[in-house]
Amino acid sequence: MRLKKHIVFDCDCTFGVENCDVDDGLALMYLLGCPEAEVVGITATYGNNRLEVVLESLRRLLADLGREDIPVNPGGKKAGAYVSEAADFLTEMADRHPGELSILATGSLTNLMGAWKKDPDFFYKVKEIVLMGGITEPLVFQKKIMDELNFSCDPAASLAVLTGKTDVSVITGNNCLKVLFTKEDYKKRLFSSENPAAMYIREKTDYWFGYNETDYGIGGFYNWDVTAAVYLMHPELFSDSKSSFCLSEEDLKTGYLREGGKGSSCQENCGIISSLNLPVIGEEEAFKDNIYSAWMQVKMREKKE
């Protein structure tokens, strides 16, 4: 029997918002479908959209799921806005669960930087941080190159978190490309099911296939943030890949993680050398099975007749 993980989910959720990404919401549903996950709170950040839009999306999603008991804390509205309710909540949870708090962060890292500024020991108190963000090479698709949209939002904050002396694992955009979720997958696993959570997911995410096909030429979509959530809960489905990186604010303006730690080129191009874990998805079907299984276990609010 796995021990429950105490988790704060720091995200830029735009689930249900027209023309915006759906995977933060799917990551939250994944966590809520994992019996060994205890989401003690959510901290909202900007990234996929403005903070106000993210807050509205989160509250609507939690209401649909009947989980208004989970506190939602607004964070800073832009890079450098480090004083916020989210930062206060993060430090409070780190104190309440010393050495046991897990943080899943899938948007800008402004709130985590705010927590560290409020409490310089914050990173030492946290058990682990799993991030979705960063690239090690360009994300090139059929129609265009996709920009990195997480670490690049607040490069100073990203640098602080990536070098914060805690256990940090980074699910990069590049490593997410191993598994594409096609519409055929969804039809097979969700569209034929009368499970309330499956019906809800297909209703809220069906449009996203068309968006990715039109804008990027992708025949499906990548569950970026869900991948990070799966690693947090089931790292055995991945292969760890630890290496040294030369990190600088300049590189992080594009989300770039420069691998290396030795030689003159590193010294010229980086500010800080840090060891990071960039996990790689293992067996594809086992990974997908785990995600769909967790989604199916999510309890939905019963609709009134």
Q: Are 288 and 296 in contact (CB under 8 A)?
A: no
Q: Is 263's pLDDT higher than 50?
A: no
For 225-240, what is the mean pLDDT? 98
> Residue 265 has what pLDDT?
52
Mean of the pLDDT values across residues 247-266?
81
> Quick one: average pLDDT of 68-84?
98
- Average pLDDT value over all residues in the chain: 91
C-alpha to C-alpha distance for 137 and 173, rounded to whole angstroms: 9
Q: What is the pLDDT of residue 163?
A: 94
Asked whether the predicted pLDDT for residue 44 surpasses 80, the reply is yes
Asked if residue 118 has pLDDT above 70, the reply is yes
Share of the chain above pLDDT 70, in %: 95
Mean pLDDT within 216-225: 87
52 pLDDT above the threshold of 50: yes
Which burial class, exposed, middle or buried, applies to 87 when counting CB atoms under 10 A from its CB (0-12, 13-18, 19+)? buried
CB atoms within 10 A of CB 291: 24
Averaged pLDDT for residues 99-123: 97
Instruction: Work out the average pLDDT over 29-51.
Output: 97
pLDDT (tens digit, 9 = 90+) per residue, 268-277?
A: 555 788 999 9
- Give the model's pLDDT for residue 269: 57
CB-hemisphere CA count at 13 Å for 205?
A: 27
Asked whether the predicted pLDDT for residue 280 surpasses 60, the reply is yes
Q: What is the mean pLDDT of residues 72-97?
A: 98
Can you tell me the distance from the alpha carbon of 183 to that of 225, in angstroms, rounded to the nearest whole number? 18
Residue-wise DSSP of the chain: -PPPEEEEEEE---TTSTTS--HHHHHHHHHHT-TTEEEEEEEE--SSS-HHHHHHHHHHHHHHHT-TTS-EEE--SSTT---SHHHHHHHHHHHHSTTTEEEEE-S-SHHHHHHHHH-TTHHHH-SEEEEE--BSS-EE-SS-EEPP-SGGG-HHHHHHHHTSSSEEEEE-HHHHTT--B-HHHHIIIIIT---HHHHHHHHHHHHHHHHHHHHH--SSB--HHHHHHHHHH-GGGEE--EEEEEE-HHHHTTTB-EE--SSHHHHHH-SEEEEEE--EE--HHHHHHHHHHHHHTPPPPPPP-
Residue 21 CA to residue 222 CA, distance in Å, equals 10
The pLDDT of residue 268 is 57
pLDDT in tens, 156-184: 999 999 998 778 999 999 999 999 998 88
Q: Find the largest Cα–Cα distance for the chain.
A: 69
Residue 105 pLDDT = 98
